Amino acid sequence: MKLEKLISSSEKGLLSFGDYESVDKQKQEGFELAGNLYNVKSHNEITRLEKNSYLLYESVPGTIVTDFHADPHELAFTVHGNEPVQVTLGLEPDAEYRLLINSTQVGKVNANRSGKISFSLNFDSGKQTIRMEKL
């Protein structure tokens, strides 16, 4: 899978970003959506999305993310890759979330004091659908 642009949005306000195939570091800053500024950096080793200068998503190695949306109660997206990845999300500090992968509840996770949650993914089908629900 390859995106036409490093970051873009749909009519519904869903973000798509990243490029895990590129060996060259790519970066786009100042992408505006709904009054927020997004910065994305991506290549085969890492994909990172920041919203208003705060970490929102990071994967090691790099991935492609589609249908990404976040609100105060939920964060959801589809992640595409070709090898196992470690994903870190920047959420509300000290909050508890329900993690669902491909609509299956994996468990409850707590964000640390800085709001970070990390988990690993494998790509048997090339993509995984993730949803974090705030409890």
Give the number of other Cβ atoms within 10 Å of residue 106's Cβ.
Answer: 12
In a domain? residue 115: yes
Q: Tens digits of per-residue pLDDT, 3-38?
A: 999 999 999 999 999 999 999 999 999 999 999 999
- The answer to whether residue 26 sits within a structural domain is yes
26-33 vs 15-18, strand pairing mode: unpaired
25-to-1, 6, 50, 55, 125 alpha-carbon distances in Å: 18, 11, 16, 18, 26
Q: Give the burial class of 126: count Cβ atoms within 10 A of its Cβ; 0-12 exposed, 13-18 middle, 19 or more buried.
A: exposed
**Tokens 């640390």 sit on residue:** 112
pTM for the predicted model, two decimal places = 0.94
Number of domains present in the structure of the chain: 1
Digits of tens for pLDDT over the chain (135 positions)? 889 999 999 999 999 999 999 999 999 999 999 999 999 999 999 999 999 999 999 999 999 999 999 999 999 999 999 999 999 999 999 999 999 999 999 999 999 999 999 999 998 778 999 999 999
- 46 located within any domain: yes
Q: Which CATH number does the domain housing residue 106 bear?
A: 2.60.40.2750
Position 1 in a domain: no
Residue 19 lies in a domain: yes
Domain for residue 2, yes or no?
no
Identify whether 29 is part of a domain: yes
Does residue 70 sit within a domain?
Answer: yes
Domain of residue 12: give its range.
7-134
